[in-house]
Chain A
Amino acid sequence: MSDSSVLKKQNSLLKIWPTTHATAGATATPSGPSHLEDDRLEPSSIPAQIEFRSVTKTYGQATAVNDLSLSVRRGEFLTILGPSGSGKTTALMLLAGFVAPTKGDILIAGKSVAAVPAYRRDQGIVFQSYALFPHLTVRRNLEFPLEMRGIGAAERAKRVDSILERVHLREFDSRMPSQLSGGQQQRVALARALIADPPILLLDEPLGALDRNLREQMQGEIKSLHREFGKTTICVTHDQEEALTLSDRIVVMRAGKIEQTDTPETLYDRPMTRFVANFLGEANILEDLGFEVESDAAQPSGTVGMIRPERVCIAATGEPKRADADRRQFAIGTVDDMIYAGPLRKYNVRVGDSLLVVRQHVASGQQIFRLGDEVKLDWLRSDVRFVAT
């Protein structure tokens, strides 16, 4: 989607929700704003900001989330990434209020929500299975959150029409959820989470059930929705690509603990632990090579060298030295395996007792190495990172 069309969409949406948070109160049912409960988090008055303070959740012996501390800025798109069972969903459910922390506290907009039940937290949630109400049509599904806020029928119809337009599902409004495809259901779920304009949006593996193409398409959709609505968004996924493309910041979780929190770029370029380096992209751990790894920086204790496959150059052993040879480290190895992957060629090269992965962009006139060939690898010393083991 081009920028101008985004802008146009944004304008049209702005017309429907001029100052949305204010209208929510103004258009409420006859009972008026007093109908709203006292402990409701007033979205307009305080910037949405989420803070986990040493939150722990245990189930019997098992610890699902362990001493988690995290704060999310207003309007930020934060992704929680981690392997299966690392506590991602639990963290999200803690925030949503469906699970109570064993220890610690969660603050939304500066206020503890320990005593606020889920149905007063005002968050839009997209569940992994979408959780569309199977007994209600698409339209009635979308109206549900508006009804719960006491918004009148006319206003509901208007908002539903506009959001259906936005997610390209105009003709589907009288269908039952079971009559929609996976991608359509997903869009209804997103629309339903957004329609009441909650300040916080929680997505639990929103694209997990979709095939690759559709997933990429929906990633674009989510990104543009985030740009338009500017909601504080927390998204859980175990798809690293999704995390890298969507997020302002990524939290990598492992066994209930935060391993590292950073922007996608920092996380990829400067992983702090071996786990993060391996989990996000591919990593060559420089150990058992048969020689010492050199680097510009001093190696802290308890760490090991790491270099990304695309930073390693591969050449024939006889090739002349390069101009910047003094800033590089060399290694001689034998080709163990070669995988051709379209624009890329992936070599596994045995150096000492370990296998290094090299990724080479296919270009014309390139020398292609065969299994068993002796090759020379080299990399810039400044590209070596030290990660905690």
Chain B
Amino acid sequence: MQLLQRLGRLPVLLAFPALGVLLVVFGIPIVRLFLTSLNAPEFSLANYQMFLGQPANIRVLFQTVEISAIATFVCLVIGYPTAYVMVAASKPVRMALLVLVVIPYLTSFLARTYAWIVILGDTGLINNLLLYFGLISGPLQLIFNRMAVYVGMVHIMLPMMILPLVSVMIGIDKSLMSAARSMGARPFTAFWRVFFPLSLPGVRSGSLLVFVICLGFYITPAALGGLGDAMLSTFIAAQVQTSFNVARIAAASFVLLAIAVVVLSMLGLDLSGSAPSGQIARKSWLPRPPPFGALKGKFGELPMPYRAKRWAAHLYKAGGEERWLKIVGPAFIALVMAFLLFPEIVVIIMSFSAGAFLEFPPSGLSLQWYRSFFGDPAWYMAAWTTIQIGVAVTILSTVLGTLAALGLSRAAPQARRLLTMVILTPITIPVIVVGVATYLGLIDLGLVGSQTGIVFAHTIGAMGYVAVIVSATLANFDRRLEQAAQSMRAGPLQTFMRVTLPLIRPGIIGGAIFAFVHSFDEVVITSLVSGFSVYTLPLKMWENIRNEVDPTVAAVASLLTLLPVLWMIALYLTWWRSRPQVNLSISEAKG
């Protein structure tokens, strides 16, 4: 009781457990890493000079930025019209499309990367098709080049571009467009002068998000690219695993971090300036807030179904110039959805292949790769380990992240902004840097190569997702309900259990699901801290993809494509189910 009262007075304390874990596992190590990169205690730039003095490094650095920037740009060019058409669509259609975008987002990216190997490989789908039709005489070199890197990266990142765009576009007051039209603006002018500027926050957050992930995420480029397409993060990862020269790794990490920070602050600071009221929500350049962004969009959408409807009606009014949208829009959307989802189907078919090696379409059907998965302890034990880690991460990060969100929602605005930024650091900066820092942190704790270590490594990121999603729910939570409960003699604990918790439960469950997905799919950090003694499923898949390219990985991948369906059902049950009430209250307030 005493403790509760004190917490009531200083709610920021609730964020301390999360901050403590973060500090030990990531915060202190990254500061040390920085000092090491500066050759502390002598302080020199020798490491950086050495790094930048090698032309090969400069080339990789430039290439990293180039690949990231182009991938981001392509995502934007495809994602913006997609989001636009989605938002203009009727509500059921939009919901269906959102589900189709979220499914690949929730699917193991290793499974999706593998799909592209199947599609682009020498005996893959495209080459076999072309050969079949006699269009080519020998297989084309479609994979292990820059093009394949872009195709794969755009495929992986596209949902993360579309979701923030949709969430921002849905919030745009559509009557503004009508107003512009009523003032004589032509459709395109109305779009360009009114809609586009208002959608810029979505463009910024989506682009930053994708760009920063591209910087640190080397798995897909490494799997689909050639030797000349290596990213800086690939080098860092390789160095951690082979020649552990902390100073050199540190310098490389901080060069990468510096690029991210420069880009973030160029676009990111501007972003926070344009968004009034220090909303956490607006920090949407965080890697992977799209689920939350979409969620937020969904909430934001509720109060204005009427306006949106009117707007959509207006948009589709059989006016001459707008008719093109009716044909081109759906066709374009269909293409994008095919690009997003087709690889998953390919993987599922591949998993029933009877051949002994990668070949598509398969020459016969069999269950051999499923048998190989369930018959090989290395595989199913890896799956079991991953589930164990995932459950532990989910519990730990849900508790820590929820407490942090509760504490931050009650803290003073400045403290809230600062601490939110701190808690979200692990999911805001290139993941390879987080991996290196966490690796050092776990060495100090003696936890490298242990499941506990991996749990902590995953938790620092996962609790960020939980904190973001729960914060979004709390932003919609009326604090007066708590006051009402207290005025009825409910103590702090009773108030929380009886009022706060039931009302923010959808957010907590959503956060827990994303925490699990994060842990279940993590490979970059895991590969650094596993110390080759713990094998998780993604690690095993990664190894398999790199070395044998044995279709067992297809069986695993197709099993993994089933998971998002489970997540969607879980999300449906927690989020959609709580919706009718909200809708009713709106129609009630209107009537």
Contact = CB atoms under 8 A, between A and B. Distances in A.
B486 A131 contact: no
A125 B483 contact: yes
Contact of B581 (A127, A178, A181): A178
A131 B489 contact: no
B507 to A, nearest CB: 14
Contacts of A134: 481, 503, 581, 585
Nearest to B502: A135
Interface residues of B, number: 27
Interface in A150-191: 176-182
Nearest to A127: B480
Nearest to B480: A131
Contacts of A182: 589
B487 interface: yes
Interface in B465-495: 478, 480-481, 483-492, 494-495
B58 interface: no
Contacts of B489: 119-120, 122, 145, 148-149, 196
Given A119-B495, A120-B489, A145-B488, A98 B584 contact: no
Interface residues of A, number: 34
B239 interface: no
Interface string B488-510: 11111011001100110000000
A279 interface: no
Which residue of A98, A182, A193 has the most chain B CB atoms within 10 A of its CB atom?
A98
Contact of A119 (B478, B490, B585): B490
A369 interface: no
Interface SS majority for chain B = helix
A36 to B, nearest CB: 10
Interface string A109-120: 000000001111
Which residue of A149, A176, A178 has the most chain B CB atoms within 10 A of its CB atom?
A178
B263 interface: no
A349 B490 CA distance: 59
A178 B483 contact: no
B321 interface: no
B488 A181 contact: no
Given A133-B481, A134-B581, A135-B503, A178 B588 contact: yes
B582 interface: yes
B305 interface: no
B487 A129 contact: no
Contacts of A122: 489
Given A131-B478, A133-B499, A179 B584 contact: yes
A252 to B, nearest CB: 25
A276 interface: no
Nearest to A97: B486
A56 B399 CA distance: 38
B5 A117 contact: yes
B486 A118 contact: yes
Contacts of A97: 486
A45 B5 CA distance: 27
A280 interface: no
B459 to A, nearest CB: 30
Contacts of B581: 134, 176, 178
B483 A98 contact: yes
Nearest to A140: B498
A124 interface: yes
Which residue of A97, A120, A145 has the most chain B CB atoms within 10 A of its CB atom?
A145
Interface string B502-521: 11000000000000000000
B531 interface: no
Nearest to B591: A181
B197 interface: no
A96 B485 CA distance: 12
B588 A180 contact: yes
A69 to B, nearest CB: 24
A192 interface: yes
A330 interface: no
A123 interface: yes
Nearest to A128: B480
Which residue of B486, B499, B503 has the most chain A CB atoms within 10 A of its CB atom?
B486
B486 A119 contact: yes
Given A135-B503, A145-B488, A148-B490, A118 B483 contact: yes
A128 to B, nearest CB: 8
Contact of A121 (B487, B582, B584): B487
A144 interface: yes
Contacts of A124: 487-488
A178 B582 contact: yes
Which residue of B484, B487, B495, B499 has the most chain A CB atoms within 10 A of its CB atom?
B487
A129 B589 CA distance: 12
Nearest to B505: A135
Given A134-B503, A180-B588, A181-B588, A118 B478 contact: no
A246 B492 CA distance: 34
A114 B491 CA distance: 17
Contacts of A202: 487
A131 B495 contact: no
A232 B495 CA distance: 26
Which residue of B490, B495, B589 has the most chain A CB atoms within 10 A of its CB atom?
B490
A118 B480 CA distance: 13
A196 B484 CA distance: 13
Contacts of A121: 487
B375 interface: no
B464 to A, nearest CB: 27
Interface string B1-40: 0000100100000000000000000000000000000000
A124 B485 CA distance: 10
Which residue of A119, A132, A144, A181 has the most chain B CB atoms within 10 A of its CB atom?
A119
B503 A127 contact: no
B582 A131 contact: no
B578 to A, nearest CB: 8
Contacts of B503: 134-135
Interface string A262-285: 000000000000000000000000
Nearest to A36: B489
Given A131-B481, A144-B498, A119 B588 contact: no
Contacts of B589: 182
Nearest to A178: B585
Contact of B485 (A120, A144, A179, A181): A144
A98 B588 CA distance: 30
A127 B483 contact: yes
A148 B584 CA distance: 29
A97 B485 CA distance: 13
B8 A96 contact: no
Interface in B558-591: 581-582, 584-585, 588-589
B6 to A, nearest CB: 11
A134 B500 CA distance: 11
A201 to B, nearest CB: 10
Given A119-B495, A178-B582, A131 B484 contact: yes
Contacts of B498: 144
A92 B251 CA distance: 58
Contacts of A178: 581-582, 584-585, 588
A122 B490 CA distance: 10
Contacts of A117: 5, 8, 486
A355 B554 CA distance: 88
Interface in B238-255: none
22 contacts: A96-B483, A98-B483, A117-B8, A117-B486, A119-B486, A119-B489, A119-B495, A122-B489, A125-B484, A127-B484, A129-B478, A131-B478, A134-B581, A134-B585, A176-B581, A178-B585, A178-B588, A181-B588, A182-B589, A192-B488, A193-B487, A202-B487
Given A117-B5, A180-B588, 4 more contacts: A127-B484, A135-B502, A149-B489, A182-B589
Interface of B: 5, 8, 478, 480-481, 483-492, 494-495, 498-499, 502-503, 581-582, 584-585, 588-589
Leading 6 A-B pairs by shortest Cβ distance = A145-B488, A178-B585, A131-B484, A125-B487, A119-B486, A148-B489
